[in-house]
Every structure is written in structure tokens, then in C-alpha cells.
């Protein structure tokens, strides 16, 4: 491996960045001829586009048959795992933040979010595939969706004026209110932003660490470093699998928390 012109930081960033080339030691596809137009806007098919499509197909292929089989008791080990995840998300996340009544309506959304992000994260860990959730545009889009969703849902359930008024805590004197209101608006935007940055940074950082550890061998021009870096990289890879589950869970948890607290506003 040669790193002639780029700095190592740029090389690292390029490793997780979106692009038109799908490269591996065995193949190299140029994706740039693939594009389509809808209403005059050109959509390019990039690497992340492919990976998101793969995640969607995986979710559909695995989860729809799992939900079709109406056994009272899950029989296989896999069905047990899915059912435990679904029950955990419903009882510990959705019901807790939405309340019993709204939970029926919001559980499918929370489950979709969780399994989609989980699929994206885990696809990124398969060698030669690419991590779409390590791209800030992908996670940013999801965070903007959550931002719009909790504002619209707050207005839907509380009425527009009452929602906007209750953004800042009530019963404050006017000068205090003038100070608090912009701060609450900023915190509203920034908590959606951290939602995007958290997922992106965690997934990208996992790849960076594995890549840098293995890159030590190239950097030091010696395979002896492999004795040190390969076991560490394997350990970090195991940790990344845990992080993939944890970040999918945290994204779902926090979006449900934001939506729930916009619906059940404190007055």
C-alpha cells in the first residue's frame, strides 16, 4: 500500500466517504453511469445509495416473513431474538415515552427506525461493503425527518399556538422569557443535530480505528506489527458490532423521547 500524495487523515476519510467507485481487491465497479431523472432532478446512484437499498431489501426479506408466521410461541432461535427485540422496544422505549394509548400507533415507526439503522450499521461491518450510516448526509436526513416529525406531531396534538408557546417553560416574567425562548429553539435544533452526528461519528470512528490499527503494518513497513494490531483490530471489530446495536437503540430511544416530549408537553 502506498500513500504518496495524500495525508493520512485524508486517506482515512476517503476510506469511509461516499463515492462513485465500489472498490475491493477483487472487483472495481464504476457507478457513475448509473443515474436517473425525476422531474428534471438528476439522482446519481452512489455507493451509499446501493447500501441503503441493500439494507431495505434485507429488512423486507427477513422481517416480513418473520411477521407473517403467526405462531403463538416463537419456535426458532432467530424468531426468539426478533421477538425479544420487538418486545423490548415496545415496552421499554415506546410505551415509556408515548404512553399506553399512543404506543400502538408509534411502535411500527420505532421498529422500522431501529431495524433500518441496525441493517445499515451491520452492512458496514461486512468486508467490502460500505457503511452508509458512516455518512453524515444519510444520518442528517434521518435527523431532519425526526426534527420535522416531532414539531409536526407537537402541533398536531397540542394545537399550533399552544405548542409554540409551551416550547419555553410557562409562568416566567417577560425579560426571562425573551432570553429563554431563543435558547430553547437552539437546543431544539442542536439536539436533532447531535442525533445525526452521534450515529455518524460512532460508525465512522469504528471504521477509522480498525483501519488505523491494520494500517500500522503498512506505516511501519513490517508484518511483525500484525502480531500487535490484528488481535486489537479483531477486538475493536467485536466492539463495533456491539456499538452497531447500541447506536441503533440510542437513535430510536432519543427520537421517541423527542417525539414523546413534544406530544406530552409540560405546561
Binding flag, residue 257, another protein (CB under 8 A): yes
Residue choice 34, 58, 168, 201 for contact with another protein (CB under 8 A): 201
Annotate 49-66 with b (16+ C-beta within 10 A) or e (fewer). Answer: bbbbebbeebbeeebeeb
- Binding window for another protein (CB under 8 A); candidates: 34-42, 92-100, 146-154, 259-267: 92-100
- Binding window for another protein (CB under 8 A); candidates: 63-71, 140-148, 151-159, 245-253: 245-253
Please name which of 170, 149, 195 lies closest in space to residue 267, comparing C-alpha atoms. 170
What distance lies between CA 42 and its chain's CA centroid? 25
Residues in 94-123 at the binding interface with another protein, rule: CB under 8 A: 96
Residue choice 59, 82, 129, 250 for contact with another protein (CB under 8 A): 250
- Binding window for another protein (CB under 8 A); candidates: 61-69, 102-110, 168-176, 249-257: 249-257
Residue choice 15, 157, 198, 264 for contact with another protein (CB under 8 A): 198
- Binding window for another protein (CB under 8 A); candidates: 18-26, 45-53, 110-118, 196-204: 196-204
Closest approach, Cβ 59 to another protein, in A, equals 23
- Name the phi and psi angles at 43, rounded to 5: -110, 120
Q: Residue 14 or 92: which CB sits closer to another protein?
A: 92
- Return the half-sphere exposure (C-beta side, CA atoms, 13 A cut-off) of residue 158: 23
- Return the half-sphere exposure (C-beta side, CA atoms, 13 A cut-off) of residue 21: 7
DSSP bridge pairs for 29: 22
Closest approach, Cβ 224 to another protein, in A, equals 27
Closest approach, Cβ 246 to another protein, in A, equals 8
Residue choice 254, 259, 262, 263 for contact with another protein (CB under 8 A): 254
What distance lies between CA 60 and its chain's CA centroid? 18
Q: Residue 50 or 255: which CB sits closer to another protein?
A: 255
- Binding window for another protein (CB under 8 A); candidates: 35-43, 119-127, 237-245, 250-258: 250-258
Binding residues with another protein: total (CB under 8 A): 14
Point out which residues bind another protein (CB under 8 A).
9, 92-93, 96, 191, 194, 197-198, 201, 249-250, 253-254, 257
Amino acid at each position: 500500500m502506498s500513500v504518496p500524495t495524500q495525508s493520512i487523515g485524508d486517506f482515512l476519510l476517503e476510506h469511509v466517504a461516499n463515492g462513485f467507485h465500489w472498490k475491493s481487491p477483487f472487483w472495481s465497479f464504476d457507478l457513475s453511469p448509473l443515474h436517473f431523472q425525476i422531474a428534471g432532478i438528476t439522482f446519481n446512484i452512489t455507493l451509499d445509495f446501493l447500501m441503503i437499498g441493500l439494507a431495505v431489501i434485507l429488512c423486507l426479506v427477513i422481517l416480513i416473513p418473520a411477521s407473517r408466521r403467526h405462531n403463538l410461541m416463537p419456535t426458532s432461535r432467530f424468531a426468539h431474538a426478533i421477538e425479544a427485540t420487538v418486545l423490548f422496544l415496545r415496552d421499554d422505549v415506546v410505551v415509556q415515552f408515548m404512553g399506553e394509548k399512543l404506543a400502538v400507533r408509534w411502535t411500527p415507526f420505532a421498529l422500522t427506525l431501529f431495524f433500518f439503522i441496525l441493517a445499515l450499521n451491520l452492512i458496514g461491518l461486512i468486508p467490502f461493503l460500505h457503511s452508509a450510516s458512516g455518512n453524515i448526509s444519510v444520518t442528517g436526513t434521518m435527523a431532519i425527518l425526526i426534527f420535522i416529525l416531532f414539531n409536526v406531531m407537537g402541533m398536531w396534538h397540542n394545537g399550533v399556538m399552544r405548542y409554540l408557546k409551551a416550547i419555553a417553560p410557562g409562568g416566567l416574567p417577560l425579560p426571562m422569557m425573551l432570553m429563554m425562548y431563543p435558547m430553547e429553539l437552539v437546543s431544539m435544533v442542536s439536539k436533532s443535530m447531535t442525533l445525526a452526528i452521534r450515529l455518524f461519528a460512532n460508525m465512522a470512528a469504528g471504521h477509522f480505528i480498525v483501519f488505523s490499527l491494520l494500517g500500522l503494518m503498512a506505516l511501519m513497513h513490517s508484518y511483525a506489527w500484525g502480531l500487535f494490531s490484528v488481535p486489537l483490530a479483531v477486538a475493536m471489530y467485536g466492539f463495533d458490532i456491539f456499538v452497531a446495536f447500541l447506536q441503533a437503540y440510542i437513535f430510536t430511544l432519543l427520537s421517541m423521547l423527542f417525539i414523546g416530549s413534544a406530544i406530552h408537553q409540560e405546561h
